């Protein structure tokens, strides 16, 4: 009889946890995933354009590296299966731009950023065409 009570109590506790945890996990689901990707795309474009302005303007190395770092972080959220290869290419261009800036070659860094911006805009066009 004692084992039966333990089994019944364990079953009741498991049922209570299952009842409470199901809505909690449902609440964690993000709303519109397209909005997250679009925001990441817009943010990445803004940071790459900012880096390009810095590279062609005053050439402040610290600000340039900060903008490139932000762009590299934001582009991680810009995920779409059809543009994955382009995203990898974009990351390579941004990494090359940072390495050029680290070696005090801001003109080469600016060229890498220009190439990255072209790739990024191509990615956005592909994404936008598929998500009208």
Residues 6+ apart with CB under 8 A from 123: 41, 78, 80, 83, 86, 87, 90
Instruction: Determine what percent of the chain is predicted with pLDDT higher than 90.
Output: 39
Topology of domain 33-130, per CATH? 1.20.120
Is the pTM higher than 0.85? no
Q: Which residue in 81, 100, 93 sits closest to 119, CA to CA?
A: 93
Q: 56-114, pLDDT tens digit by residue?
A: 888 788 899 999 999 999 988 888 888 899 999 999 999 999 999 999 888 899 999 99
């Amino acid at each position: 009889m004692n084992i039966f009570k333990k089994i019944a109590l364990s079953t009741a506790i498991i049922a209570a946890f299952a009842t409470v945890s199901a809505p909690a996990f449902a609440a964690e689901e993000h709303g519109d995933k397209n909005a997250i990707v679009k925001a990441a795309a817009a943010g990445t474009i803004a940071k790459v354009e900012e880096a390009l302005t810095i590279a062609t303007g005053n050439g402040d190395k610290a600000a340039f590296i900060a903008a490139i770092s932000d762009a590299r972080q934001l582009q991680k959220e810009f995920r779409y299966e059809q543009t994955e290869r382009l995203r990898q290419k974009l990351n390579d261009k941004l990494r090359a731009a940072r390495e050029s800036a680290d070696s005090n070659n801001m003109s080469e860094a600016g060229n890498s950023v220009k190439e990255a911006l072209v790739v990024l805009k191509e990615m956005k066009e592909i994404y936008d065409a598929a998500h009208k």
